[in-house]
Amino acid sequence: MAESKKYQDSVGKLTKLLESNLKKVDQEIIYRLDKSIPLINDIGIHLINASGKRLRPLLTLAMAAQLNDYSQNPVILAAAVEFIHTATLLHDDVVDESNLRRGKKTANIIWGNEFSVLAGDFLFAQSFELMVETGSIQALSSLASASCKITQGEFQQMQIAKKPETTRKQYLDVIGKKTAELFGASCESGVIVANGSLVEQKAAYNYGFNLGLAFQIIDDLMDFNAQSKKTGKNLGDDFKLGKTTLPIILAWEKSNTSEKQFWNKTLKELKQDTNDFEKALTIFHKYNIFESCKLKAQEFISKSKISLDQLPDTEIKEHLIGLADESIQRSR
């Protein structure tokens, strides 16, 4: 418990340490959006304001700062990372037909699918323009590769939807591409522009990638957690859409014949009655699914922290370790 309190607000501490450059990232984002047509600016500002703690750009700045680089290049990359992330959220909300993100109406609900998709396309293009400005082909390669894999992950996620019999390996491949790759590239690119060694670049990528895996597992778990209302999500959205996530996969593996019939009806056929979500929770509790998911997330957090051994011992590194630990706390 003492360790948990020690790392209770590592994101806040990192934000404070990097406050000056984070403000520059905000200024860069606003400047780039102001250059666009008014509606794209409105959509971009709406979603960026609803995007929470700016974790990915924070990681880019933190990794560069680990190597004592507080220059403009990490700022530009961090802005590019935020644009990539925001673009994927715009497209995600259209695909998922979402109506809430962090308690606010999604862009597709306010402006419609067509404008949301086009705004996402603009933000992707703008991110590449920013990356080119750093003059680092290696950083561009890292984030461009992540962008491609995000789209692959989205395709694969659609292909495993309504399939509770999906394997853990297939699921991890999906979230690795859809979520973890951008975490990894956000970290790696910060070290690249700070002229870190290949060993340090790999360590930064591994930290981010494993953190991203844990982050997504916990995010998927929170769809079934009553406390998820604090995130602004609608409770049970993934279940209603028939999304195949780790809680579902683990429950399917342990379910008896009648329970598998229930999953077939509610997820494969999407024939859901009023009390079906509660029945799903009952099955989860029966097989300790929540704890199993947290244990799996903890495995990735442990890998994430170990990778930091290759990076300098700094105050920022301590907070990066704490940030990893805190990601598990989100489910409580």
How many independent structural domains does the chain possess? 1
Cα distance between residue 208 and residue 181, in whole Å: 8
Residue-level pLDDT, tens digit, the chain, 332 residues: 344 444 458 999 999 999 999 999 988 988 888 777 888 778 777 767 766 678 999 999 999 999 999 999 999 999 999 999 988 887 777 666 666 566 667 766 677 677 778 888 888 899 999 999 999 999 999 999 999 999 999 999 999 999 999 999 999 999 999 999 999 999 999 999 999 999 999 999 999 999 999 999 999 999 898 554 455 557 888 899 899 999 999 999 999 999 999 999 999 999 999 999 999 999 999 999 999 999 999 999 999 999 999 999 999 999 999 999 998 876 55
Cα distance between residue 14 and residue 56, in whole Å: 12
CATH number at residue 281: 1.10.600.10
Q: What is the pTM of this model?
A: 0.91
Q: List pLDDT tens digits, range 56-100.
A: 999 999 999 999 999 999 999 999 999 999 888 877 776 666 665
Reduced 3-state DSSP string for the chain: CHHHHHCCCHHHHHHHHCHHHHHHHHHHHHHHHHCCCHHHHHHHHHHHHCCCCCHHHHHHHHHHHHCCCCCHHHHHHHHHHHHHHHHHHHHHHHHHCCCEECCEECHHHHHCHHHHHHHHHHHHHHHHHHHHHCCCHHHHHHHHHHHHHHHHHHHHHHHHCCCCCCCHHHHHHHHHHHHHHHHHHHHHHHHHHCCCCHHHHHHHHHHHHHHHHHHHHHHHHHCCCHHHHHHCCCCCHHHHHCCCCHHHHHHHHHCCHHHHHHHHHHHHCCCCCCCHHHHHHHHHHHCCHHHHHHHHHHHHHHHHHHHHHHCCCCHHHHHHHHHHHHHHHCCC
CA neighbor of 85 nearest in space, from 97, 73, 77: 77
**Torsion sign, CA atoms 217, 220, 225, 226:** positive
Q: What are phi and psi of 98, to 5 degrees?
A: -75, 150
**Torsion sign, CA atoms 43, 235, 165, 172:** positive
CA neighbor of 74 nearest in space, from 25, 27, 10: 25
Q: Which domain holds residue 108?
A: 2-329
Cα distance between residue 29 and residue 87, in whole Å: 13
Cβ–Cβ under 8 Å, residues 319 and 17: yes
Cα distance between residue 198 and residue 245, in whole Å: 34
Cα distance between residue 207 and residue 324, in whole Å: 9
Q: List pLDDT tens digits, range 227-248.
A: 544 555 578 888 998 999 999 9
Cβ–Cβ under 8 Å, residues 138 and 192: yes
CA neighbor of 55 nearest in space, from 29, 85, 77, 26: 85
Cα distance between residue 286 and residue 205, in whole Å: 37
